[in-house]
Chain A
Amino acid sequence: MTKDIIEEKINYFLVDEFEVEEEEIAPEANLKETLELDSLDFVDLVVAIESNFGVKLVGEDFVNVKTLQDFYDLIESKLSQKTV
């Protein structure tokens, strides 16, 4: 899966499912604050990632995720590990 498709899919479920305003979506956006995602939302992010990408994340995976770009990178890295 290409980087563009990963970003597109993530942006889509953030807007559609998590009701994040489209204009708030930017690579530098802070995932927790700008997008107003609380601790419960992170559980739902895990569900969305599993259903969209087939990978299961755990809480520790999010430790270094601050921005949306970090989030895209995390998924890309998980998908490449899965392929390997």
Chain B
Amino acid sequence: MRRVVITGMGIYSCIGKNLSEVKESLYSGTSGIVFDQKRKDFGYRSPLSGMVEEPNLKKFLSRRERISMGEEAQYAYVATREALENARIDQDFLDNNEVGILYGNDSTAKSVIESVDTMRQKGDTTLVGSGAIFKAMNSTVTMNLSTIFRLTGVNFTISAACASGSHAIGMAYQLISSGLQDTIICGGAQEINELAMGSFDGLGVFSTNQDPAKASRPFDSGRDGLVPSGGGATLIVESYDSAIKRGAPILGEIVGYGFSSNGEHISTPNVEGPSRAMLKALKQANLKPEQIDYVNAHATSTPVGDANEAKAIVEVFGPKGPCVSSTKSMTGHECWMAGASEVIYSMLMMEHSFVAPNINLENPDEDAAQLNLVKKTLNKKIDVFLSNSFGFGGTNSALIIKKLS
């Protein structure tokens, strides 16, 4: 099996439009959650969301390229440009090497709804325009980016609810580790609009806290639900040999990818499934639990989800084990993107030797009290971290990444 490393990262999120801005927000514990009037007008229980501005891609892409891109593909494009630059990969490299793409995405609600609205209104399918189909398919990110960057390697989308981005990295790790690919662009993207999240809001699982910055409070006893969010997060995953050969910056090494399925309820998570994913990742990484310096928890700020994850972490690491925080306290739940963005957040912490705080943690509940939760920014060297991502249907993914010695 070959060694697999991360050589580039790019991020477009509600706490920053690039790596530098995001690092500052993580360090200062800044929330990206805002009040969204559109949601209130649309009948949402919760008007809160993480928000990013629509990127202006006119200077980078032609009309033909832009017309096929919905929100999620646009966010992913911005993140991917930064990641490629960060990895020192230019178009010439992409043209002369078989580079693949695996990206997590699980909806294109706005694009689908807008084109169906046009068909209903006009009574003519042609009038939705030529880009509608390419915006509306779930694989919109991979089909657009593979065309724009002229990629010739593996090319498909991973849909696994809120673990999509994490499984995309895991699959890239597997393909590179087994020698099938050398370099894969991977990550996760998530649309942000009132059309995409209505049915999720309808389940009554979004926070109705009146203060946007205080609404997402994972592990706190006062939590009352998650806050949706989104954007794009891209990582360049590469074989160690390929990275060395081209003199690429090596930001970290992927050493474990544990996956599991709960086999139970469609939306209520359990303890056993996540715990099994973490144990599998540790086994694959050949690491003992005490060798993990930091756990980036999936914890979304829902009562049952956070409590069960806390139990699972204690089951694997014991009470008061590694430092734990949920960056969703600042970003909200970036859903399909979260598994990739949270690896980037943790990579930034590893690079700059700090643990980002789990903001809004005032009174940990009984289960959370067993964890070594980081409430305030902690200056600490991180050599190895584990990032959890779980999703509807009981899909679980745990990734372990270590600093290259």
Query: How many residues on the A side are at the interface (Cβ–Cβ under 8 A)?
Result: 13
**Chain B 111-145 residues near chain A, CB threshold 8 A:** 122, 124, 126-131
- Residues of B near A58 (CB, < 8 A) are 126
Q: Answer yes or no: A8 CB below 8 A from chain B CBs.
A: no
Q: How far is the CA of A18 from the CA of B124 in the complex (A)?
A: 22
Q: How far is the CA of A40 from the CA of B62 in the complex (A)?
A: 14
- The reply to whether B129 and A43 contact each other, CB–CB distance below 8 Å, is yes
- Residues of A near B131 (CB, < 8 A) are 44
Q: How far is the CA of A18 from the CA of B130 in the complex (A)?
A: 13
Interface flags, A46-58, vs B, CB<8A=1, else 0: 1100100000101
A56 to chain B, nearest CB (A): 6
- Residues of A near B64 (CB, < 8 A) are 38, 40-41
Q: Answer yes or no: A17 CB below 8 A from chain B CBs.
A: yes
Q: Answer yes or no: A23 CB below 8 A from chain B CBs.
A: no
Q: How far is the CA of A65 from the CA of B128 in the complex (A)?
A: 23
- The reply to whether A19 and B63 contact each other, CB–CB distance below 8 Å, is yes
- The reply to whether A46 and B127 contact each other, CB–CB distance below 8 Å, is yes
- Residues of B near A40 (CB, < 8 A) are 64, 130
- Residues of B near A44 (CB, < 8 A) are 67, 129-131
Count the A-B residue pairs with Cβ separation under 8 angstroms: how many?
Answer: 29
B122 to chain A, nearest CB (A): 8
- Residues of A near B129 (CB, < 8 A) are 43-44, 47
Q: Find A43's partner among B62, B122, B126 (CB 8 Å cutoff).
A: B126
Q: How far is the CA of A55 from the CA of B129 in the complex (A)?
A: 15
- The reply to whether A47 and B127 contact each other, CB–CB distance below 8 Å, is yes
**Chain A 1-29 residues near chain B, CB threshold 8 A:** 17-19
**Chain A: CB-nearest residue to B126:** A46
- The reply to whether A41 and B124 contact each other, CB–CB distance below 8 Å, is no
A42 to chain B, nearest CB (A): 8
- Residues of B near A17 (CB, < 8 A) are 63
Q: How far is the CA of A72 from the CA of B131 in the complex (A)?
A: 25
A50 to chain B, nearest CB (A): 6
- Residues of A near B63 (CB, < 8 A) are 17-19
**Chain B 64-96 residues near chain A, CB threshold 8 A:** 64, 67
A56 touching B62 in the complex, CB below 8 Å, given contacts A41-B130, A43-B129, A43-B130: no
B154 to chain A, nearest CB (A): 26
- The reply to whether B62 and A47 contact each other, CB–CB distance below 8 Å, is no
**Chain B 289-329 residues near chain A, CB threshold 8 A:** none
Q: How far is the CA of A50 from the CA of B127 in the complex (A)?
A: 8
- The reply to whether B124 and A56 contact each other, CB–CB distance below 8 Å, is yes
Q: How far is the CA of A58 from the CA of B127 in the complex (A)?
A: 11
A21 to chain B, nearest CB (A): 12
- Residues of A near B130 (CB, < 8 A) are 40-41, 43-44
Q: Find B126's partner among A18, A19, A38, A47 (CB 8 Å cutoff).
A: A47
**Chain A: CB-nearest residue to B132:** A43
Q: How far is the CA of A38 from the CA of B131 in the complex (A)?
A: 13
- 18 more CB-based (< 8 A) A-B contacts, given A18-B63, A41-B64, A56-B126: A19-B63, A38-B64, A40-B130, A43-B126, A43-B129, A43-B130, A44-B129, A44-B130, A44-B131, A46-B126, A46-B127, A47-B127, A47-B128, A47-B129, A50-B122, A50-B124, A56-B124, A58-B126
5 A-B interface contacts by CB (under 8 A): A41-B130, A44-B67, A44-B130, A56-B127, A58-B126
